[in-house]
């Protein structure tokens, strides 16, 4: 794996690390997640981010169906030690939030950001999108972002 490759903390495709190669505790750092109404809207938002200077390697879209399938596959592959760790460390509120959006057929646009400045640039790039929710997993904390929408 090249130094420039992004190791995505979610996803169970052939390009992702196997479950045994992932950290025992889910603690993403350097990612911004935007929830959008559907995959088409997520594609449009990704195009806006590319215009803002983000590369394809920094962007990944998951449909609601993919999110639910990946999580089911992840749970089925978990060893006993991982199940114990997950029982203690999983943030159920976050899981409920993301899986609720997934069940509503919404899409998640993950953006790899190296620092807070890049996260702010991504948020500005998403300001014209129909973003429903944004969470930034920074180096030291996670934060939710609310985009102010003009009232009609």
DSSP-assigned states of every residue in 41-107? HHHHHHHHHHHTT--GGGEEEE-HHHHHHHHHHHHHH--HHHHHHHHHH--HHHHHHHHHHHHTT-E
Placement of tokens 């999110």 in the chain: 67
Q: Is 136 exposed, middle or buried (0-12, 13-18, 19+ CB in 10 A)?
A: buried
pLDDT at position 133: 93
pLDDT in tens, 51-97: 999 999 999 999 999 888 887 877 787 788 878 877 787 777 888 88
pLDDT in tens, 120-130: 999 999 999 99
Q: Which two tokens stand for residue 9?
A: 């903390």
Placement of tokens 């972002």 in the chain: 145
Pick the more confident residue, 43 or 71: 43
pLDDT at position 120: 95
């Amino acid at each position: 794996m090249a130094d420039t490759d992004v190791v995505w903390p979610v996803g169970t495709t052939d390009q992702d690390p196997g479950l045994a190669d992932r950290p025992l505790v889910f603690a993403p750092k350097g990612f911004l997640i935007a929830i959008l109404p559907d995959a088409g809207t997520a594609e449009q938002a990704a195009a806006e981010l590319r215009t803002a200077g983000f590369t394809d390697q920094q962007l990944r879209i998951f449909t609601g169906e993919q999110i639910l399938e990946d999580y089911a596959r992840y749970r089925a592959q978990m060893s006993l030690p991982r199940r114990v760790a997950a029982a203690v460390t999983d943030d159920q509120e976050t899981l409920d939030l993301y899986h609720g959006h997934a069940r509503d057929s919404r899409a998640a646009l993950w953006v790899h950001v190296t620092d807070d400045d890049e996260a702010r640039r991504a948020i500005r790039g998403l300001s014209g999108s129909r973003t429903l929710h944004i969470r930034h997993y920074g180096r030291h904390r996670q934060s939710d972002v609310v985009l102010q929408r003009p009232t009609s």
